[in-house]
């Protein structure tokens, strides 16, 4: 299979996923998703679809370059690429921009020679209790 064919079949697989997602959203809400208040606008929605189709195309081409790949393999690679992104998005931590703070320096104790030394010795960290934030064998 030439790379162009593999890319087109990969795109077809990704398009099938997009059509199923759009159908599910329309069936659930009775309107297109971009008409809902908490959903992205049509332009953003189309941009994301183009990116997912490109990802499916890329996955089909990559699978074809690594070895013999039939039509079913290219379609499967195209289907898997957007679904993999969807699964990764479920486990990505959500960050609120307002809650992000600049990193702060750790407190450093000084000894009699005014040289910098850690505030706790490594042996102290091993003997820490849960009340002071250390790790014990029971954790």
Domain boundaries, the chain: 3-94
109 strand-pairing partners: 117
> What per-residue confidence (pLDDT) applies to 104?
67
The overall average pLDDT reported for the chain is 75
User: How many alpha carbons fall within 13 Å on the CB side of residue 109?
Assistant: 6
The tens digit of pLDDT for each residue in 94-107 reads 666 666 566 666 66
Q: What is the CA radius of gyration of the chain?
A: 26
Helix (H, G, I), strand (E, B) or coil at 53: helix
> What per-residue confidence (pLDDT) applies to 90?
78
> What per-residue confidence (pLDDT) applies to 99?
60
> What per-residue confidence (pLDDT) applies to 84?
79
């Amino acid at each position: 299979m030439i790379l162009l064919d593999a890319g087109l079949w990969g795109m077809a697989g990704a398009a099938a996923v997009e059509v199923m997602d759009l159908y599910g959203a329309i069936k659930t809400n009775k309107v297109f998703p971009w008409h809902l208040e908490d959903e992205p606008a049509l332009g953003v929605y189309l941009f994301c679809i183009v990116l997912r189709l490109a990802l499916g195309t890329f996955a089909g081409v990559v699978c074809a370059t690594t070895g013999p790949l039939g039509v079913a393999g290219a379609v499967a690679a195209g289907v898997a690429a957007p679904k993999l992104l969807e699964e990764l998005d479920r486990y990505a931590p959500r960050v609120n921009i307002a809650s992000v703070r600049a990193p702060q320096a750790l407190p450093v104790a000084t000894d009699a020679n005014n040289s910098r030394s850690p505030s706790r010795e490594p042996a102290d960290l091993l003997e820490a209790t849960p009340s002071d934030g250390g790790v014990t064998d029971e954790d």
